[in-house]
Amino acid sequence: MKKLIIASTSTLHGGEYLEYLLPTLEVFFKDCRSILFIPYARPGGISHDAYTDKVRSAFAQIDKNVSGLHEYDNPNQAIKKAEAIFTGGGNTFLLVTQLYKNQVMETLAETIKNGTPYLGSSAGSNITGLTMQTTNDMPIIYPPSFQTLGMIPFNLNPHYLDADLQSKHMGETRETRIKEFHQFNSVPVLGLREGSWLEVLGDQIILKGDLKARLFRQNHEAEELETGSDLSFLR
């Protein structure tokens, strides 16, 4: 049975890395001693080692050991044997490219489907959807496919921002970008605001956190979903 925490972000404004999620993660990972971290998204271009060290420090607070996927000669075997898996944020184009390059996308999907607990934040959450096409990231590299893990039956837009009517910014809003996506695609998109996450247990998908999420569907008006909502109706 699938078990996932899919978070919009790893860090809230003014907080430490994963700080706001640690109470939830302590319960979520209670049966795991170690977590396999996938550092491929490399936020700001930091090294795999530096990123893994950052994650290791955070999880040490709840007594979990962390190793980086890049440390293994056989990444497929490392994923299959992992007690739990975390994929961090950064650039989704880079993350997806590396997952395909290292031939682990399919293995990761199968491992999660078989019940290995999975945590994603930002880019690591983007890949739990059907495709990565609703990411906010710059296309710094070209992945062989936009198809991702398909652990949830829709796409995500993490870090979702509402339009600021006082702003002088003339670029497109997030809502406009998602409407552009729906000119050519029928996949639903969930705008996940900062500090919110999805908790997946089997076929159940529950919105958690203090904020509502914004659901976009082709040929429908956007709608606000209350925290506690079950999104499994989107299947």
Q: How far apart are CA 29 and CA 48, in angstroms?
A: 23
The question of whether 122 is a catalytic residue gets the answer yes
The tokens for 131 are: 């495709």
Give me the catalytic one of 8, 121, 137, 196. 137
Q: How far apart are CA 114 and CA 106, in angstroms?
A: 12
Residue with tokens 């979903």: 225
Q: Where are the alpha helices (DSSP H) in 169-232?
A: 174-181
The tokens for 219 are: 């040929």
Give me the catalytic one of 159, 182, 229, 232. 159
Residue with tokens 């710094």: 140
Answer for the pair 4, 120: CB distance below 8 angstroms, yes or no.
Answer: yes
The question of whether 230 is a catalytic residue gets the answer no
Q: How far apart are CA 67 and CA 228, in angstroms?
A: 33
The question of whether 13 is a catalytic residue gets the answer no
CA torsion through residues 127, 131, 137, 139, sign: positive
Among candidate residues 74, 82, 71, 77, the one with its CA nearest the CA of residue 33: 82
Give me the catalytic one of 8, 10, 121, 122. 122
The backbone torsions φ and ψ at residue 79, rounded to the nearest 5 degrees and listed phi first, read: -65, -45
Q: Which residues are catalytic?
A: 122, 137, 159
